[in-house]
């Protein structure tokens, strides 16, 4: 067994519902799969002395899970005042409309189609609820509408699917673009270097204690995969499926369809830069 402290980002053990930082509590959704890992992390955020809370990514349309999120807030003496989305994939956002009904909250997201209410989210926005401050960080790449939320009081960032607690992220071609994703990782790295971010609260997988370490690992991993794809094309593997079979031969075949999305994004990137 590998020591967690030796893994990228220093994962904090297993994924469990419960407190993660002074202001963040995880309620794990019951939707485990090869793509969602242990399930979707729904984050309940609040200042320690506040009776108002923010929920990030209510998760799938699962009545039991949505009510578990509410119960977690109520047991802490808090009322959910706002719902935020990191992006629109169903495992993060499908339950948002129902959760808004249960809580009477608005839903804020980058994509207007996902919003309930007049306000969206954009780069540079600062969301404040009950003294809690969240800074909106645009991180397109996994999807075009992906956002992260910087929680400065805890030195933490909520990353949705941009950075996972275990493994690496799919660039969901054609909506996701590799160039955007690399820029987003560099943006996150600047948070770790310049803004004191040390903890990653991901959309899936365990909390990470070394934010800079995992972002550096992601950047190196992407560079390595890109070089592998370039070499595979030079060796005559012409189609995305052929590249996947060659480059991702050591990866569970159940993940090959997702890997093909990333390969398509990498091929686009190599073509755009005149490399292939």
pLDDT for position 15: 73
Q: In which band, very low, low, confident or very high, does the pLDDT at 2 lie, cut at 50, 70 and 90? A: very low
pLDDT for position 5: 59
pLDDT for position 36: 96
pLDDT, tens only, 194-236: 999 999 999 999 999 999 999 999 999 999 999 999 999 999 9
pLDDT, tens only, 100-123: 999 999 999 999 999 999 899 999
Question: What phi, psi does 173 have (nearest 5°)?
Answer: -55, 145
Is there a domain that residue 115 lies in? yes
Q: What is the mean pLDDT of the chain?
A: 96
pTM over 0.75: yes
Q: What's 96's domain CATH number?
A: 3.60.15.10
pLDDT for position 4: 62
pLDDT for position 59: 98
> In this model, does residue 1 exceed pLDDT 50?
no
pLDDT, tens only, 7-63: 899 999 877 899 999 999 999 999 999 999 999 999 999 999 999 999 999 999 999
Catalytic residue, candidates 38, 57, 91, 161: 91
Is there a domain that residue 217 lies in? no
pLDDT, tens only, 62-89: 999 999 999 999 999 999 999 999 999 9
pLDDT for position 16: 83
Distances (CA, A) of 45 to 48, 159, 265, 274: 9, 14, 34, 45
Structural domain count of the chain:
1
Is there a domain that residue 9 lies in? no
Is there a domain that residue 216 lies in? no
183 is catalytic: no
Range of the domain at 42: 18-209
CA 225 – CA 163 distance, rounded (Å):
16
């Amino acid at each position: 067994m590998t020591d967690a402290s030796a893994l990228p980002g220093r994962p904090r053990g297993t994924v469990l519902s419960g407190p993660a930082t002074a202001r963040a509590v995880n309620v794990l959704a019951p939707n485990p799969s090869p793509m969602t890992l242990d399930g979707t992390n729904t984050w309940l955020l609040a200042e320690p002395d506040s009776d108002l809370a923010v929920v990030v990514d209510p998760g799938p349309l699962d009545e039991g899970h949505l009510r578990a999120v509410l119960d977690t807030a109520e047991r802490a003496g808090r009322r959910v005042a706002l719902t935020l989305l990191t992006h629109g994939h169903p495992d993060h956002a499908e339950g948002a409309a129902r959760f808004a009904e249960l809580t009477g909250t608005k839903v804020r997201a980058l994509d207007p189609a996902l919003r309930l209410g007049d306000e969206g989210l954009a780069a540079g926005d600062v969301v404040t609820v009950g003294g809690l401050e969240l800074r909106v960080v645009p991180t397109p790449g996994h999807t075009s509408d992906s956002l992260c939320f910087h929680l400065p009081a805890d030195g933490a960032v909520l990353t949705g699917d941009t950075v996972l607690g275990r493994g690496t992220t799919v660039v969901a071609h054609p909506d996701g673009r590799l160039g955007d994703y690399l820029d987003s990782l560099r943006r996150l790295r600047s948070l770790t270097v310049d803004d004191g971010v040390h903890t990653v609260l991901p959309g899936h997988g365990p909390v990470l204690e070394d934010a800079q370490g995992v972002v550096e690992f992601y950047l190196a991993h992407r560079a390595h995969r890109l070089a592998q794809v370039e070499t595979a094309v030079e060796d005559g593997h012409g189609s995305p499926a052929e590249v996947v079979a060659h480059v991702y031969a050591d990866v569970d075949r159940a993940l090959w369809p997702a890997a093909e999305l990333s390969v398509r994004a990498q091929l686009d990137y190599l073509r755009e830069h005149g490399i292939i």
